[in-house]
């Protein structure tokens, strides 16, 4: 019988890979567009509410967007927008 009072090691799985917000947005945007949704409205709805139902499961977009925290996604959006303002 195993003892549960000792530290256990876990092996890293393929699901543990890191995701970039830019790549996540790209996949989610494409999946929403393919399904005929307004991607901007759907993504904003998700970011404001946290309700994953705003994101289609097409192309595994719903699972993918939930790999990152909403604040990380918002941070990426703001940083990207402000960078474009600096380049004008």
Q: What is the DSSP string of 20-79?
A: -HHHHHHHHHHHHHHTT--HHHHHHHHHHH--GGGS--GGGHHHHHTTS-HHHHHHHHHH
Q: Is residue 8 part of a domain?
A: no
- pLDDT value of residue 39: 98
Q: How many domains does the chain have?
A: 1
Residue 68, domain extent: 19-86
Q: Is residue 11 part of a domain?
A: no
pLDDT in tens, 48-84: 999 999 999 999 999 999 999 999 999 999 999 999 9
> Higher pLDDT residue, 18 or 51?
51
Stated pTM of the model: 0.77
Question: Would you say 68 and 19 are in contact if contact means Cβ atoms under 8 Å apart?
Answer: yes
Q: Is residue 64 part of a domain?
A: yes
């Amino acid at each position: 019988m195993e003892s549960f009072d000792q530290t256990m090691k876990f092996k890293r799985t393929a699901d543990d890979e890191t995701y970039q917000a830019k790549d996540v947005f790209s996949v989610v945007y494409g999946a929403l567009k393919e399904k005929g949704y307004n991607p901007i409205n759907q993504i904003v709805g998700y970011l404001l509410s946290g309700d994953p139902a705003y994101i289609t499961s097409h192309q595994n977009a719903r699972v993918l967007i939930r790999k990152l925290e909403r604040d990380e996604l918002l941070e990426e959006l703001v940083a990207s927008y402000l960078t474009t303002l600096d380049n004008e």
